[in-house]
């Protein structure tokens, strides 16, 4: 079966058929995948059947794998893979048990100086219903704002910290705990498109604002810009592998299922560049 790619929504995303990551991928096919990813920001690669070694090998085709500050969730024999298992969710600082990635719209690992450009999530076990992941095109969201507001936001920066959750170990806090300053409006290095770049849970503040004023500012900005016309909600199917571009996408997992059933995903990150 030859490589086929088709848009999956008006907002962002494309489905990929005809690739089996257990087998060699032609250079021309890989270049097509990378080009389509830059254009559509999310690729849903269907019908995969990968063991951990094959998953890591597939992700390496897209760049250098980077460490994750989720020590308690890392697969011991494959530490490049974080195992996101709903059965192991621990209560957060507010006492609520929420799966990783389900608390708010966000982009991954902004507490790093060079955050991941791509996140890869592979479905290992799925609930019968629920457990979708939604993606928001933050370039399109930025474009919804007035020209005056876009000019105002482009000069702002966020100060990012590692989050306060039990799954972040003391070792990870020591290793990845240094505050990082990033632009609120990020320019994609391949396309030149600009988009809102935020992780509310890691945003200590907007530089020049108090933490409380920053929280209100961020919440209001996301409420106004993450609207239906920028969102694609993905209903997972067995064998789905999704690659998304954190430089233009925010995402959020839906916790609308029994966590004890076991929604299990394998996650790998690809290192990016210093945001600008």
Q: pLDDT of 38-89, one tens digit each?
A: 999 999 999 999 999 999 999 999 999 999 988 889 999 999 999 999 998 8
214 found inside a domain? yes
Residues 233-257 have pLDDT tens digits of 999 999 999 999 999 999 999 999 9
Contact of 78 with 59, CB cutoff 8 Å = no
CATH number of the structural domain spanning residue 248: 3.60.130.10
Distance CA 271, CA 251 (A): 18
89 found inside a domain? yes
Confidence of residue 166 (pLDDT cuts 50, 70, 90): low
Q: How much of the chain, in percent, has pLDDT values that exceed 90?
A: 85
87 found inside a domain? yes
pTM tops 0.75, yes or no: yes
The DSSP symbol for 268 reads E
Domain carrying residue 100: 4-271
| Long-range contacts from 168-171, C-beta under 8 angstroms, 24+ separation | 168/69, 168/70, 169/71, 169/72, 171/71
Q: Say how far residue 112 (Cα) sits from the centre of its chain.
A: 14
69 found inside a domain? yes
Q: Is the pLDDT reported for residue 186 higher than 90?
A: yes
On the CB side of 235, CA atoms within 13 Å amount to 3
240 found inside a domain? yes
Which CA distances in Å does 161 have to 33, 73, 115, 198?
32, 20, 12, 12
Q: Among 129, 183, 133, 135, which residue's Cα sits nearest to residue 158? A: 183
Which CA distances in Å does 88 have to 72, 123, 132?
10, 16, 18
Contact of 248 with 139, CB cutoff 8 Å = yes
The phi and psi torsions of 77 (rounded to 5 degrees) equal -85, -10
Helix (H) or strand (E) holding 27: helix 27-40
276 found inside a domain? no
Distance CA 202, CA 206 (A): 11
Give the chain's domain count.
Answer: 1
């Amino acid at each position: 079966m030859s490589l086929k790619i088709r848009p999956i929504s008006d907002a962002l995303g494309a489905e990929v058929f005809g690739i089996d990551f257990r087998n060699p991928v032609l250079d021309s096919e890989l270049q097509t995948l990378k080009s389509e990813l830059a254009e559509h920001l999310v690729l849903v690669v269907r019908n995969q059947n990968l063991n951990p070694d094959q998953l890591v090998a597939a992700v390496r085709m897209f760049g250098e794998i980077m460490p994750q500050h989720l020590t308690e969730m890392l697969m011991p024999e494959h530490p490049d893979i974080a195992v996101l298992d709903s059965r192991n969710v621990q209560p957060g600082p507010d006492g609520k048990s929420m799966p990783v990635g389900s608390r708010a719209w966000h982009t991954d690992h902004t507490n790093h100086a060079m955050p991941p450009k791509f996140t890869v999530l592979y479905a290992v076990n799925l609930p019968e219903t629920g457990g979708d992941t939604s993606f928001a095109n933050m370039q399109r969201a930025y474009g919804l704002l007035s020209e005056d507001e876009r000019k105002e936001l482009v000069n702002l920066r966020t100060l990012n910290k590692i989050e306060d959750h039990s799954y972040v170990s003391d070792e990870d806090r020591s290793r990845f705990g240094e505050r990082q300053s990033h632009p609120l409006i990020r320019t994609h290095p391949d396309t030149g498109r600009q988009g809102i770049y935020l992780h509310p849970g890691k945003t200590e503040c907007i530089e020049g604002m108090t933490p409380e004023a920053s929280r209100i500012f961020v919440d209001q900005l996301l409420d106004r810009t993450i609207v239906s016309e920028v969102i694609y909600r993905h209903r997972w199917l067995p064998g789905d592998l999704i690659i998304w571009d954190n430089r233009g996408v925010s995402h959020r997992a839906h916790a609308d299922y029994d966590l004890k059933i076991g929604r299990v995903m394998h996650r790998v990150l690809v290192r990016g560049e210093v945001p600008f």
